[in-house]
Structure 1
């Protein structure tokens, strides 16, 4: 079977999605980015409310599309964007729960790598454990831009988990923290794995929305609309 765009999950026609796509998990954050940062933005997908828009930012064609929650939905959408829409760069702009003592609400996390418990990479039947890592050119440009903006950030490992509500082992995040992992989220590992297989670029720029260890958190409305530094950095480095 030959696959081609549009798909069951993305209704955009070939050519309607830019080479660089920003991917928040939240569809309303995708809408917020399109309405507040893109010029002449046009909605190109609404299937399952995974809103996607294409417009321009400082003269560059850029798309933004929601990924939804977790590895499976990120994997589906990223795979189709890379393989069927000729996307070259996906930059995740999402929220994350801090497990590192030095991270505060609103700080940025650049995911150099992603530890994970998802079986997503099992499909490739590798004889060892795959390291899910960012594309260095995107990471370098993002860090440089963050320095110019004087944004507070850390670079390092995140933990991508399939389990939001653990049934038994509630100390797991503490053990990951002892290994230097910065924060917990659900999509980065799948994105990096799909990008590696497709030979494309990927980066996760995350904003701390809560601290797992202290219980501090912010509202959904703040998560949707207030964490703009990661959006600006991603748009500035879009190719």
Structure 2
């Protein structure tokens, strides 16, 4: 176990789905996994491990925002050996073509500030998804006929943002949607040689 995750060694699968809401983790585990077992409930951040179509999968809540996700992703990777981390969550749409209930596959995740910003100093690091995961998700969405958009998103460090000029620039530069976690997830995956992707359902429109 770690400071924030109570799972024993061997309880966490190499593939981890990370919703922000712990109760979304509970719902997803009970709905989609076979033999789902609660492996973490420290601080109420629920995590479950089970199987999906024969593949071992963990679903672990991350909380809201990059600092919270950074804690869980770091421990999942460094202490439990997670190799593939997929954020499953919601976002706000920013382009007119992006409708509520559409899905965004985040190719890149821009941010103003993240827990990793300080280590890059003057470098503007560009966090991006794993190409293999992105391609597989896009192909699966196409086969299902889902309304799906692939492109850049913005990971904000605040929920109630009062910078309309920044929003205008993001729209101008083709940013599809805004959420609060993916940039840090992609950065940590790059640092540790893991694979990461954010799959986001559009819940509202800015």
Residue equivalent to 2:175: 181
Alignment of 1:88-127 (within 5 A): 88-127=83-122
Matched, 1:26 2:21: yes
TM (normalized to structure 2)?
0.97
Residue equivalent to 2:151: 156
**C-alpha separation in 2, matches of 1:84 and 1:206:** 27
Structure 1 residue 60: Cα displacement: 0.8
Structure 1 residue 76: Cα displacement: 0.7
**C-alpha separation in 1, matches of 2:32 and 2:120:** 41
CA RMSD of aligned residues (A): 1.1
Matched, 1:170 2:164: yes
**C-alpha separation in 2, matches of 1:34 and 1:128:** 39
Which consecutive unaligned segments of at least 5 residues does structure 1 have?
1-5, 213-239
Structure 1 residue 126: Cα displacement: 4.9
**C-alpha separation in 2, matches of 1:169 and 1:146:** 33
Instruction: Classify the secondary structure of the residue corresponding to 2:69.
Output: helix
Residue equivalent to 1:53: 48
- Does the 8 Å CA contact 2:114/2:157 hold for their aligned counterparts? no
Which consecutive unaligned segments of at least 5 residues does structure 2 have?
none
How many correspondences in the alignment? 206
**C-alpha separation in 1, matches of 2:72 and 2:61:** 9
**C-alpha separation in 1, matches of 2:97 and 2:41:** 38
Structure 1 residue 124: Cα displacement: 2.4
**C-alpha separation in 1, matches of 2:141 and 2:121:** 36
Structure 1 residue 127: Cα displacement: 4.6
Deviation readout 1:198-217 (Å, 9 max, x if unpaired): 110000000000011xxxxx
- Does the 8 Å CA contact 1:121/1:130 hold for their aligned counterparts? no
TM (normalized to structure 1)?
0.84
